[in-house]
Structure 1
Amino acid sequence: MALHNTHSIRHSRCVPILPAIAHEKACCSARLNSARRSILAALVRSLPTVFNCIVNTTYHTSYKVTGDRRIYYDYTTALPDIVQIADHYFVDYGVVRLWKAMMHASCTSATNCAHIYNIALANVESTQFPGTKWFSKDVTMDHVWNAFIICTLLEDCRERHCLLDVGQTINQNEHFIEAMSDRNRRMRVYNQPLARRHFCAKCTRIYNHGDITNQLVSVVVVDGVVVSRPCCSVPNCWVHLHTPQDRFCYVHSARLEQCAIKGCARSVVSGSLTCDIPAHQESEALHTLRGKSQFRLHECLERSRAIHGRLANVQVGDDNDGTQAIGEEEYDVKLGKKKRLRAQFTRNYTHCEELIVAPCGMIYAHETMHNAEGVGSVAEFICRVFRDPETRPTHVFFDNNCQLALHVQNDPFFQDIGLSVDVFHFECKHSRRPPLH
């Protein structure tokens, strides 16, 4: 951790030179603002003097601000040694690479990355830095994530030979939403660049038998990983939530005034999530009780036993068929006649992340399954990823290939693709000869 003063020069005729060095007479006569202390998170102490010259544009260490746009400098030839991640905060690029390696190799959280840096790598002199209400001398989780996002986007722009251009908004967490969404869309359409034409000895074989010579046989595995995230409670809605705590996106925000009981369109009572029907209010009361009582503690205990207990004591439940979303709850209400109600009091979560992986470990693509791992969605996913005939695999392994084969039996795309049935699914899930109609 190093301390450094940053200054700003203001003059309409000032010509910036980065690192900013004033040579013209007009620049020398410019008004020099008061010094501001900044923090450099680095393995070594090395930071050039930083100036902000305003010539209808504000120039910072890593970017310039023109109007309502923040444009990062041209790093297509080489990435910067130091990156500005927030006001008063700079990070050495080697530290960012260290944080990214810790996340990738050991699944270290951003909080622990910051904690480890503050304990082991921060310069002793940083303890003499006077903390203020505006910023602290310690690296925080937000600084780690800002550095991760900025450097990842800069690396992406370097590969595409373009500049990183983002909106200059007031909130730091809104600067890069547009750029990250654009990159996610590109990855969804074009997939991993290195995986498009990947063939290696672990995932590909060349067969020579009889009249068949040099036949290329490749295999991919399609499976879902339960890595859920909050999403809109309206089924099949792809609009992102403004915050993870929201129940609905901005398109369906009017649903907040509608009763949380499934099938009820009545307006909610003020301060409640349900309408004035007594059975619906009783369901909300049970939901509140469940969150505050020992029901929640009992569920936490069961999860802890499943993680830390012996494998023999873990009971395997039935497969989730996707008919009940994660955020939905069922209640048996006994007001007069017993009735079972289904409600959506909390935010919903996506079902899983569907992956297409080669046996060697190369990930071709991934897709978010919002409500269920449906065979129709999986078939569309495979067709989109391997739309180039030269990249199509010879065999696709999927745990529900029997239903997938039934779904695509008339699709010419899958005519030359083998759909092998998983052994466990074949032995346990249904009869060995499912009819194909």
Structure 2
Amino acid sequence: MAAESLENISLDTFSQFLHLIPHLKNPIQFAPGECSCKGDLPHNVLDFLAHALKANIAHIQTLWDIIGPHAMNTAPVAPTSRDLEAFRVYGVENEISYWDVYPPTRICTMPLCNGQQLGDHMCHKAVLFTLQEGALPIFSTSVYCHSIYYHNYVVHKETSTRTYYPGVPEIIQLATYYFAESALLEFFATQMAFAWVSAENCSRVYNHTLSNKSAHILNNLQAYSSFPLDSPTPHSATPASMTPEHVSGGFILYSLLLDSAEQKEILVLPHDVGSQRLRVQPAMEARNKAMEGTGQEYWDHACDKCCILLENNGEMRKIQAAVTDGVSIGHPRCAAELHCQKPLPSPLHVFCIDHAHYDKICRVRGCSATCEPGSRTCADSGHQVMESNFVARGKAMFQLHHRLKQAGVHIPSDSSADTADDPDLIPVEPNEPDQDKPLHDGKSESGNRSLRATFGRCRTHNEQLLVRLVAISAVKLFCEQTFPTTPSMPEYLFFDDACHLHRLIQDDPHWAYTATPADVFHHDRKHGPGDTYCQQNVNPAGFPELILPDGKWRFNTSVAEQTNAWIGGFQAMVRQMEVTYYNFFLDEMIKRRNRFMVEELERKGHNPWQINRNALL
């Protein structure tokens, strides 16, 4: 009977059947109920194949009976355009897509289950954001036992935790019904690191171009008016749009999975916490803690460009240099006290929970009266005028541009930051001595006494960077945390305010073998010839080892300024971030840039040296 049916099956149908079955292993194996190669194909798979191969169901079943086991054991090959078209046209109605996601196992891995086969399959519609094929409708399947198995992780009911599978998956779940290719998330992370593209602008670029393979036509219909679309797909017909939350959440989870894989660890997150941001918060905090001090992977970097060997009385001596400097970007902090380190409930709050009562007190300094309803000042008319002036000045666009210009940041007019309702965009006069505090000056009605007020959020003063004279990482404590032992300290640490640092560390044994010259640029401008202490202790010309025989400087001490220009580009992106994500994001950006810089150095022939990290620690 089967042989008679096989005679009526074309060679093309036979060949295409062999080609498609390996791509349908999961829909076959995860079909509800017991399924094996000797049984019938699931109804949805049978219907899909009949339409895709343009064959009747009897012929498909005959092929399955004869070559099903062989086809199931064949490794899938790359899908052709014909395959993808078949899945697109006939797959969705049968709850099948080429990109469907399934758990990596059909057997329960819990010890109590003794290898029991998983059951109670649940399938739901989802969207997959891909780098090459755009936004695709897919189906996600989960299976149950004592635990719930999803594509990326297992949910343990007893502990309510998500335990991710080892390694980095090709597809990462962003939310219940949304997935993204790791390749796409890598693309977003690279855009952020090298082009300062915000999560919102990443999502805009994706939705306008990558989400649809015909985007070049759809975005320019007038130019392509005579060019027919093979399969018209207007923007409104795409499965879903990518949101900034998808991008930022995907970046965080992808980075955590990468780090876990690099550390040979398993990522475990809480499950029942309400939102993805709350779910990843503990893991981000742990990652931030691990990155403090010596956590950056290139902390112990050394190569023939940043580290040299000099012979002294027959002995070889290492000379390594670093530069430290600050860049004026920061995250919102509690405005109640200068040194309050309690986190804010959200980036839009002015005070932490412990100082929340300050919200009801007049913001004019020295005034303890209660605020008027709907106001940030008391009933004093002078205080109310100060607030009115503050609000009016805050709406002046030129003030905003001035602040960005001060930071050395160029932001296009169509910035991703929603500046209209940002309570922190407050005018600060260029000559005010304390620019990290949002202040406003005014005069009381009773005289010329100057009043100062804090209306908006306060921010941390700056990000301190410590840069090997080729790559990145307040000031004495910061350096001691980065170089925790005397052997790990660089022989030279360049700093713009080196004279004050020198006074602070001159009797500290931790700094016994570290000189602190000012960098060349700042020494010429901030340390005058009449300052004897500076000239004797921090003038870089007073250190012969820093000068080459031809009179040129051995190290590029301007590298921190160059790095400041790079990290300053993130100002608009990080200004709304709460402190945990702020630190996590910048650590990841620095890590990526360090890797790039080391690759560039090696490409140019500056080979890294092997340093015993444990000996330094």
The alignment's TM-score, normalised by the length of structure 2, stands at 0.57
Whichever residue aligns with residue 190 of structure 1, its letter is: T
Query: Of the candidates 171, 183, 197, which is equivalent to residue 94 of structure 1?
Result: 183
Matched, 1:64 2:154: yes
- Following superposition of structure 1 onto structure 2, how do residues 163-182 of structure 1 map, counting pairs within 5 Å? 163-168=266-271, 169-182=273-286
- Following superposition of structure 1 onto structure 2, how do residues 24-423 of structure 1 map, counting pairs within 5 Å? 30=120, 36-43=124-131, 50-67=140-157, 69-75=160-166, 78-123=167-212, 127=233, 137-168=240-271, 169-195=273-299, 197-209=300-312, 211-233=313-335, 234-292=337-395, 296-300=396-400, 302=402, 324-361=434-471, 363=472, 365=473, 377-423=474-520
Whichever residue aligns with residue 285 of structure 2, its letter is: S
CA contact (8 A) 1:329 1:344 kept: yes
Matched, 1:18 2:103: yes
Distance (whole Å) between structure 2 residues aligned to residue 411 and residue 10 of structure 1: 71
Give SS of 1:175's match: helix
Shift in Å at residue 325 of structure 1?
4.4
Unaligned runs of 5+ in 2: 1-25, 34-101, 109-114, 214-230, 411-427, 538-617
Taking a change above 3 Å as real, the CA distance of residues 57 and 264 of structure 1, as seen in their structure-2 partners, is: farther
CA contact (8 A) 1:399 1:425 kept: yes
Distance (whole Å) between structure 1 residues aligned to residue 315 and residue 431 of structure 2: 45
Give SS of 1:392's match: coil
Shift in Å at residue 186 of structure 1?
1.1
Give SS of 2:325's match: strand
Shift in Å at residue 219 of structure 1?
0.1
Taking a change above 3 Å as real, the CA distance of residues 393 and 189 of structure 1, as seen in their structure-2 partners, is: closer
Whichever residue aligns with residue 291 of structure 2, its letter is: M
Whichever residue aligns with residue 18 of structure 1, its letter is: P
Shift in Å at residue 25 of structure 1?
11
Taking a change above 3 Å as real, the CA distance of residues 208 and 253 of structure 1, as seen in their structure-2 partners, is: same
Distance (whole Å) between structure 2 residues aligned to residue 37 and residue 163 of structure 1: 28
Whichever residue aligns with residue 184 of structure 1, its letter is: N
Shift in Å at residue 226 of structure 1?
1.9
Residue matched to 1:373: none
Q: Deviations over 1:185-211 (max 9, x none)?
A: 11114321332x3210110010014x1
Shift in Å at residue 297 of structure 1?
3.4
Shift in Å at residue 107 of structure 1?
2.5
Answer with 1 or 2: which has the greater Rg.
2
- Which of the two has greater strand per residue? 1
Q: Deviations over 1:328-362 (max 9, x none)?
A: 3132225131221111100011111101111112x
Shift in Å at residue 63 of structure 1?
1.8
Distance (whole Å) between structure 2 residues aligned to residue 428 and residue 228 of structure 1: 26
Distance (whole Å) between structure 2 residues aligned to residue 74 and residue 215 of structure 1: 47
Taking a change above 3 Å as real, the CA distance of residues 305 and 227 of structure 1, as seen in their structure-2 partners, is: closer
Shift in Å at residue 418 of structure 1?
0.7
Unaligned runs of 5+ in 1: 12-16, 310-316, 366-376
Q: Deviations over 1:92-135 (max 9, x none)?
A: 11111222222223222222322333333324589489879xxx
Shift in Å at residue 83 of structure 1?
0.8
Whichever residue aligns with residue 329 of structure 1, its letter is: L
Shift in Å at residue 308 of structure 1?
11
Q: Deviations over 1:378-425 (max 9, x none)?
A: 111111211133321000000000111111122122221111123343
Distance (whole Å) between structure 2 residues aligned to residue 303 and residue 215 of structure 1: 46
CA contact (8 A) 1:63 1:72 kept: yes
Higher deviation after alignment, 213-222 or 283-292: 283-292
Shift in Å at residue 159 of structure 1?
2.1
Taking a change above 3 Å as real, the CA distance of residues 61 and 289 of structure 1, as seen in their structure-2 partners, is: same
Distance (whole Å) between structure 1 residues aligned to residue 402 and residue 203 of structure 2: 32
Taking a change above 3 Å as real, the CA distance of residues 303 and 342 of structure 1, as seen in their structure-2 partners, is: closer
